[in-house]
Amino acid sequence: MVTTKTFYILLDLGICSTQTEFSREWLGASDRYFSFLRAKNRDAHMTALMGMAARLECLADQLSSDVRSTRKANILNALVDEIWDYMRARAITTLPKRRTSRSLSGALLGQRSASATQVAV
């Protein structure tokens, strides 16, 4: 789970110290949100993940300006990339099923299904 991995990385880097702080400051949620996610073996909802990625990007940018914090900035940048990749993959796998037989690849290529090309008379 990307949320749990992020928590432990921030904990190791000394950026975050408790699950409550992580829930509030990084996930933008209630104090017990991260505890709930861990208990249910779930990952955060997409809005929380997006906010977390944006906050981490801002922190990485701030840290990259200081030579002493380059290592932390690099770790955070790699983590942000991983979070965005995870969100993209999750968004694609949760696409709703279409009622027609039109495929995703067909839609991407601009093809129409046979029913869409018929002209009403």
pLDDT one-digit tens code per residue, 3-39 = 999 999 999 999 999 999 999 999 999 999 999 999 9
* DSSP 3-state of 93: helix
* 61/63 Cα distance (integer angstroms): 6
Q: How many CB atoms lie within 10 A of CB 41?
A: 8
C-alpha to C-alpha distances, 113 to 85, 90, 119, 120, nearest whole angstrom: 31, 26, 12, 15
Q: Are 2 and 43 in contact (CB under 8 A)?
A: yes
Q: Are 64 and 91 in contact (CB under 8 A)?
A: no
pTM (predicted TM-score): 0.74
